[in-house]
Amino acid sequence: MALFNFLRPKNKLEEGGRSSAPVQQDAGEPEENCPNCHKDIPLSRLWANNLVCSCGYHFRMKARQRIQTITDKGSFHEMYPRMKSGNPLNFPGYKEKIGTVRVASGEEEAVVCGTASIGRQRCCLFVMEPGFMMGSMGSAVGEKITLLFEYAVEHRLPVVGFTVSGGARMQEGLLSLMQMAKTSAAVKRHSDAGLLYTAVLTDPTTGGVTASFAMEADIILAEPGATIGFAGARVIKQTTKKALPEGFQTAETVMEHGFADSIVPRSGQKRFLAELIKMHNWRAII
């Protein structure tokens, strides 16, 4: 069942490649096995705990659910909900694939955008969808994110973004690649306007999204254990023919090397984000 697409084992980049399909779980199963502590957790408890195991393992989360947990009740107003990519290159199999994904995920595209309040702090919000081709960035994703940043500049709002992506969507070829430049230019304008952009990197954030708006935030947060990197671990292993070091491309290592500001568990994210926005609204209040 599509609803349970996010309940998949920890990142499988190494074995299956970036676009490996989500593992389908048996919807009738009332328990979920944690890939970290290997304990079976009752689904009801997992849901109640925002899909975090008692051992601290963060399961992947659908965009809509994340929006629900992170924003103030009833505050989210979706923007560009029907915007979606066509098949600009007539890439073989793309139309069929994206059609199936749309039905299975219930989303038109791999990112959900809108305005919201987080702890009574107004902001623009984008949340990427792991169940939609692993959050791959095509023309529509790039367009939606660009529009959101442009809206945020116009209305002088901070932007909060949750990233999850295997990278640029290869079925849209060069046009996907160009979204990296397009979104980056929009982030730059937002930044030059003196506005705050906070990114929360979730599992996995890789490829063209890492190399564009994920790494361009003023403040970069990460979820515990998230895979964060540019090249896929499998490709690096193939290229270098060496074993990868322990903890390679995990949020913790990324922070250790200076590329993330803080690791924030899901349970603390709302308060953390609200506090950050509030601190940056200081001048506005006076």
Piece of the chain touching other proteins by CB under 8 A; list 39-47, 66-74, 98-106, 188-196: 188-196
135 in Cβ contact with 128 (< 8 Å): yes
Please, what is the minimum distance in Å from the beta carbon of residue 218 to other proteins? 12
Query: Partners of 49 in the beta sheet?
Result: none
Q: Please give the Cα distance from 202 to 187 (Å, whole number).
A: 19
Residue of 103, 188, 268, 271 that binds other proteins (CB under 8 A): 188
Q: Name 142's Cβ contacts closer than 8 Å, sequence gap at least 6.
A: 176, 178, 179, 180, 182, 183
Q: Which of 166, 258, 173 is nearest to 207 (CA)?
A: 166
Please, what is the minimum distance in Å from the beta carbon of residue 173 to other proteins? 5
Q: Please tell me whether residue 19 binds other proteins under the rule CB under 8 A.
A: yes
Tell me whether residue 138 or residue 161 sits nearer to other proteins (CB atom).
138
Helix, strand, or coil (residue 107): coil
Tell me whether residue 86 or residue 194 sits nearer to other proteins (CB atom).
86
Q: Please give the Cα distance from 79 to 154 (Å, whole number).
A: 15
Q: Name 211's Cβ contacts closer than 8 Å, sequence gap at least 6.
A: 180, 230
Query: Partners of 122 in the beta sheet?
Result: 117
Please, what is the minimum distance in Å from the beta carbon of residue 36 to other proteins? 23
Q: Please tell me whether residue 143 binds other proteins under the rule CB under 8 A.
A: yes
Q: Please tell me whether residue 12 binds other proteins under the rule CB under 8 A.
A: no
Q: Please tell me whether residue 236 binds other proteins under the rule CB under 8 A.
A: yes
Q: Please tell me whether residue 255 binds other proteins under the rule CB under 8 A.
A: no
DSSP state of 170: G
Q: Please tell me whether residue 60 binds other proteins under the rule CB under 8 A.
A: no
Please, what is the minimum distance in Å from the beta carbon of residue 128 to other proteins? 16
Q: Please tell me whether residue 263 binds other proteins under the rule CB under 8 A.
A: no
Angle at 90 between CA 89 and CA 92, to 5 degrees: 120
Residue of 15, 38, 246, 258 that binds other proteins (CB under 8 A): 258
Task: Name residue, tokens 């002088």.
Answer: 156
Piece of the chain touching other proteins by CB under 8 A; list 31-39, 156-164, 178-186, 278-286: 178-186
Task: Name residue, tokens 């490649």.
Answer: 17
Query: Partners of 128 in the beta sheet?
Result: 111
Tell me whether residue 71 or residue 184 sits nearer to other proteins (CB atom).
184
Piece of the chain touching other proteins by CB under 8 A; list 31-39, 71-79, 136-144, 270-278: 136-144
Residue of 184, 198, 202, 269 that binds other proteins (CB under 8 A): 184
Q: Please give the Cα distance from 233 to 220 (Å, whole number).
A: 22
Residue of 248, 263, 280, 281 that binds other proteins (CB under 8 A): 248
Q: Please tell me whether residue 185 binds other proteins under the rule CB under 8 A.
A: yes
DSSP state of 80: S
Angle at 246 between CA 57 and CA 267, to 5 degrees: 20
Query: Partners of 161 in the beta sheet?
Result: 126, 199
Contact positions vs other proteins (CB under 8 A): 17-19, 80, 82-86, 88-89, 91-93, 138-140, 142-143, 146, 168-170, 172-182, 184-185, 187-189, 191-192, 207-208, 210-216, 229-231, 235-236, 239-240, 242, 244-245, 248-249, 253, 257-259
